[in-house]
Amino acid sequence: MDLDEYQRGALRTAAPRDKKNELLHLVLGLTGESGEVAEKFKKWIRDQDSDESKLDRADIAKELGDVLWYLAVLADYLNLSLDDIATTNLTKLSSRQHRGVLNGSGDNR
């Protein structure tokens, strides 16, 4: 499955674009689900002493799936293709690596 195919599939379970506050719902959903990923790691550090053998990858995968869903639907709301976003991001990171500024700071390096 490619990213645009996933995006089209995610849209089958999305609310209509014209639903009141849908853009805000998508942004808050993305941040909320990202927070749930962080929460899994917080509890892993607290309860499992950061022992990687005790990391619940299946649970984290479910949360990452929710992040992906919100990302896909938010991108579509903004008329953006996930394939295009991914390609542009890899191009940007490759350029930074080539120029030796991958670990630098600032958005436009």
Q: Provide the pLDDT confidence category of residue 106 given band limits of 50, 70 and 90.
A: confident
Q: Tell me: pLDDT of 12 over 90.
A: yes
CA distance 80 to 87: 12
In a domain, 66, yes or no: yes
In a domain, 108, yes or no: no
- How many other C-beta atoms can be found within 10 angstroms of the C-beta atom of residue 7? 22
CATH classification of the domain holding 24: 1.10.287
In a domain, 37, yes or no: yes
What is the pLDDT at residue 78? Answer: 98
In a domain, 106, yes or no: no
What is the pLDDT at residue 28? Answer: 98
In a domain, 75, yes or no: yes
What is the pLDDT at residue 102? Answer: 85
pTM value? 0.92
Three-class SS of residue 104? Answer: coil
Phi, psi of 36 (to 5 degrees): -65, -35
Q: What is the pLDDT of residues 73-103, one digit of tens each?
A: 999 999 999 999 999 999 999 999 999 898 8
Domain count, the chain: 1
DSSP one-letter string for 65-89: HHHHHHHHHHHHHTT--HHHHHHHH
CA distance 85 to 64: 17
Range(s) of the domain holding residue 74: 3-82
What is the pLDDT at residue 105? Answer: 79
In a domain, 62, yes or no: yes
Average pLDDT of span 58-85 = 98
Q: What is the pLDDT of residues 14-57, one digit of tens each?
A: 999 999 999 999 999 999 999 999 999 999 999 999 999 999 99
In a domain, 94, yes or no: no
Sign of CA dihedral 19, 24, 26, 32: negative
